[in-house]
Chains A and B, each alone.
Chain A
Amino acid sequence: MNRPAPLLSVNNLEVVYHHTVQVLKGLSIEVPEGSIVALLGSNGAGKTTTLKAISGLLPLENGAIEAGAVLYRGQSLAGLLPHQIARRGLFQVREGRHIFDELTVEENLDCATYARRGRGGPAEDFGRVYRWFPRLKERRKQLGGYLSGGEQQMLAIGRALVARPDLMLLDEPSLGLSPLLVEEIFGIVRAINREEGTTILLVEQNAHMALEVASHAYIMENGKVVLDGPVEQLKRDRDVQEFYLGRRGGEAKSYRDVKHYKRRKRWLS
């Protein structure tokens, strides 16, 4: 095997909250440089926890890595604080957008310049962000709290663009957005990956969209990866079609299938 070392690799990660609740149970994923990798799974599978373990936000919520390692460019991130990780080029766009609602759009972008490591002056004009998201330019003097949900998501991704990360962790960008906006956001995510060369680890519940933009996907359940592979292969997988894409060979679904679903789920994990 002569593959290049992945930009990010997570090895047998175990995460425990409050010393008692184990959320990740030996999770392993790899994100090659330049790719978009999707992390799929149902509620509570541990997707967001995985991202927090990578970006260093875990201790803020009483979570701790008990075993395993997160390697970024081959180096362990253990012991680094979130701002140090961000400054190494690993930037998380958190679920729920987390816009600074008391700051203007421009000030929100300004904050992300703290993550930049000497590339470009701090007095950047944010023109790049406004080219991707023209709507933000119109609103640049408005408070973040007054933006619509879609605009807030754009601003959240805009902040990540300002940080110029090598690896962007994108948590549920489609959450609470209209189908049209979801299309738009995913189009931009794909373009950012292609044109700026940003590697993206994408966490999504919208498996349809995620499998459209990603090249490789992991499917998580109960804190572990249960299935992974190139998206073309996963899209053909019967279980993925049934449980994540909601298709089942033309047959209508009914509640009677729930039992079957449970059985299959158990088999999967």
Chain B
Amino acid sequence: MDELLQFLVSGVVTGGIYALIAIGFVVVYKSTGVINFATGELMMLGAFFAWTAMAVAHLPFAAALLVAAAGAAAVGALVERVVLRPMLGQRPISIIMVTIGLSSVFKGIAQVVWGGEYRSFPTIFPRRPVELGPVVLPSRQAWPFLIAVAAIVLLAALFRFTRTGTAMRATANDQATAFGMGIDIRRVFSLSWVLASVTAALAGVVVGIIGGISPQLGAVGLRIFPVVILGGLDSIGGALVGGIVMGVLENLAGGYLDPLFPGTGVKEVAPFVALVLILMARPWGLFGTREIERL
């Protein structure tokens, strides 16, 4: 029983981080309709920004987080203005290809600037594991999880309670009408990219703390596709639930199925199997809008 609880809690922890990544992805998709394949690489850049701030400039962790957020915001704004705005109105597939191209460019830049080797963050949090009743969490999972939760809560509050958040939701809901209301939707697009990049950067730092950083860190970004497709591409609540479900599935599969099929990596595959099954029943995801997306 304790074992099950342990798997569930670790699952929620992993899932919370997935959810954070997925939300950044959904924000861009909802307001601009762009599927951002460079999400993982934005995470990687964010992680490197924070690492540089800490390991090279010897800033405290909180300042490093700010550096990562600011750097990512700048990258996001630049990408939106220089690369994506001129593509407005192009076919979705062209824009998707551009984001895939961007991901390669980012990887290349990171390779040049930081080199290819593995690095890890200096110790940030107290080493003592966090105990929740019978469940024990290593501190380098517990603290990042809290960061992820805080970021999600902050984002949700921004969308829900600020005037800018209302304008962003309105634009996602009905672009032309929002435009006619006096909302500058170009600013909303730009802001969506900034927010998504900051979110990705925080997620990158979190993932980097847990598993170390390299230009390949962005590969985790691919994990969120089952998450966002499961939750529905355009639902932030869905991203949250999708992330947790995937995290829990992964950990349960890792705990119970891996020993049965040693060496097969069931843990890695299980979420995708679940994805296929769920999509067979609900092709628009658990919470997505029921419409056909033509690509």
Contacts and interface: CB of A to CB of B under 8 A. Distances in A.
Which of A56, A60, A111 has the most CB atoms of chain B within a 10 A radius of its CB? A111
B62 to A, nearest CB: 32
Given A57-B176, A110-B163, A122-B163, A86 B181 contact: yes
A57 B180 contact: yes
Given A98-B174, A110-B163, A122-B163, A82 B180 contact: yes
Given A110-B163, A110-B166, A94 B177 contact: yes
Interface in A111-138: 111-116, 122
A122 B182 CA distance: 13
Given A57-B179, A83-B179, A122-B163, A100 B174 contact: yes
Contacts of A163: 181-182
Which of B173, B175, B177, B180 has the most CB atoms of chain A within a 10 A radius of its CB? B180
Contacts, number: 72
B131 interface: no
Nearest to A87: B182
B163 A100 contact: no
Contacts of B176: 57, 60, 82, 98
B3 interface: no
B169 to A, nearest CB: 6
Contacts of A212: none
A68 B179 CA distance: 24
Interface stretch (A13-21, A41-49, A101-109, A246-254): A101-109
Contact of B173 (A103, A112, A116): A103
B183 interface: yes
A112 B182 contact: yes
A55 interface: yes
Which of under 10, 10 to 19, 20 to 34, or 35 or more describes the interface residues of A? 20 to 34
A90 B183 CA distance: 14
A25 interface: no
A86 B170 contact: no
B167 interface: yes
Interface string B137-177: 00000000000000000000000000100110110111111
Contacts of B178: 100, 111
A92 interface: yes
Contact of B182 (A83, A98, A102, A103): A83
Nearest to B186: A81
A110 B172 CA distance: 15
Contacts of B167: 111, 114
A224 interface: no
A94 B181 CA distance: 11
Nearest to A123: B163
A159 interface: yes
Nearest to B179: A82
* A-B CB proximity, top 9 nearest: A115-B182, A114-B182, A86-B182, A82-B179, A98-B177, A100-B173, A111-B170, A111-B181, A114-B183
